[in-house]
């Protein structure tokens, strides 16, 4: 697998699905088995929320341990225009040799749908091509989007054919009138570990894993400065107002603009050290990956854009 192009890409709902070349690169970046951690996040503070007590062994309460998420395995495969994502959410266990206790969910995304955008890097955004703008009762649902970014190394590790990779996923819903995020966001961070095998490589019970919520959130100062897109384009500075800052450099924002439209943004600050772990040369500098999705005042999806930015100077 070769490194994906970092050039900015914009996809419109009317583009009619991905090209064969883009779909092939997308599958090469995303297909496989991924291990990591999932948590629900408070949309105001960015803090991970405790999982229900009924899902936690009694011993944990005695130890004053309160898990805030789940170990995860995701088995992902693109077949023609369908993206199959089989998710395993592992419950905490006392030891690693216990029988696996988990929830399993299969989601099938139609990549040819107007509301789905995929990128050669493995990134994607999923949701309705026209989101609801009126919420009158509990039977109505809020606008929702699922956003995924993939960070891959520039070259395979010695003796390997595949690039080292990490991915982050955000599932977010918001109030249309104000742009305020409603209900906890679901945030997943995972590392690719083996080629696709339909989830048959699960190693065993999870034990207790603190996961990425144990790390400090990204510092707003680390996002300061001017950023320039790879491949050209206008430079930009990061306005941290309304930005939900998360660990591992992750951030989320839903912004209601003056015209009544909405912009959903998922960002991922990748430090020089994070790049070295994926095989980049030391000193390559910070990278900021951004996935944005814009909606018109009537709720219609306008565009989805993915870009890689580097700090200027």
Structure confidence by residue, pLDDT tens digits, 128-169: 999 999 887 777 789 999 999 999 988 787 777 888 899 999
The string of pLDDT tens digits covering residues 226-268 is 999 987 788 999 989 899 999 999 999 999 999 999 999 999 9
What tokens were used for 233?
């384009």
> Whole-angstrom Cα distance, residue 17 to residue 107?
19
Q: Rounded to the nearest 5°, which phi and psi values hold at 53?
A: -60, -30
Q: What digits encode the pLDDT tens for the residues 146-156?
A: 999 999 988 78
pLDDT tier at 289, thresholds 50, 70, 90? very high
Q: Are 249 and 271 in contact (CB under 8 A)?
A: yes
Stretch 218-226: mean pLDDT:
92
* C-alpha to C-alpha distance for 114 and 25, rounded to whole angstroms: 20
Query: What's the burial of 156, exposed, middle or buried (CB within 10 Å: 0-12/13-18/19+)?
Result: middle
**Taking the complete model, does pTM exceed 0.85, yes or no?**
yes
Radius of gyration over alpha carbons of the chain, in Å?
A: 19
Rounded Cα–Cα distance for residues 238 and 220 (Å)? 9
For the record, the structure tokens of 7 come out as 């050039």
The DSSP secondary-structure symbol of 231 reads T
SS3 219: coil
């Amino acid at each position: 697998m070769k490194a994906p192009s970092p050039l900015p890409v914009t996809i419109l709902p009317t583009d009619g699905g991905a090209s064969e070349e883009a779909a092939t690169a997308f599958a090469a970046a995303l297909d496989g088995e991924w291990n990591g951690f999932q948590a629900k996040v408070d949309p105001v503070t960015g803090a991970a929320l405790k999982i229900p007590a009924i899902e936690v062994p009694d011993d944990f309460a005695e130890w004053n341990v309160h898990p805030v998420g789940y170990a995860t395995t995701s088995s992902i495969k693109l077949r023609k225009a369908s993206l199959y994502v089989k998710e395993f959410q592992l419950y905490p266990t006392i030891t690693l040799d216990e029988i696996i206790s988990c929830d399993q969910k299969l989601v099938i995304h139609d990549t040819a749908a107007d509301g789905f955008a995929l990128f050669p890097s493995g990134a994607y955004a999923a949701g309705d091509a026209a989101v609801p703008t009126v919420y009158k009762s509990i039977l109505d649902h809020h606008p929702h989007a699922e956003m995924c970014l993939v960070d891959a190394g520039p070259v395979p590790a010695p003796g390997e054919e595949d690039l080292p990779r990490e991915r982050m996923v955000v599932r977010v819903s918001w109030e249309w009138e104000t742009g305020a995020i409603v209900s906890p966001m679901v945030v997943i961070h995972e590392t690719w570990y083996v080629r696709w095998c339909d989830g048959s490589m699960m190693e065993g019970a999870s034990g207790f894993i603190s996961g990425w919520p144990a790390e400090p959130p990204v510092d707003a100062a680390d996002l300061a400065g001017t950023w320039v897109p790879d491949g050209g384009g206008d430079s930009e500075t990061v306005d941290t107002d309304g930005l939900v800052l998360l660990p591992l450099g992750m951030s989320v924002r839903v912004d209601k603009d003056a015209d009544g439209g909405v912009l959903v943004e998922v960002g991922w600050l990748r430090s020089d050290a994070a790049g070295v772990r994926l095989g980049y040369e030391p000193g390559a500098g910070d990278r900021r990956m951004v996935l944005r999705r814009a909606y018109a005042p009537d709720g219609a999806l306008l565009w989805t854009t993915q870009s890689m930015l580097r700090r200027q100077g």
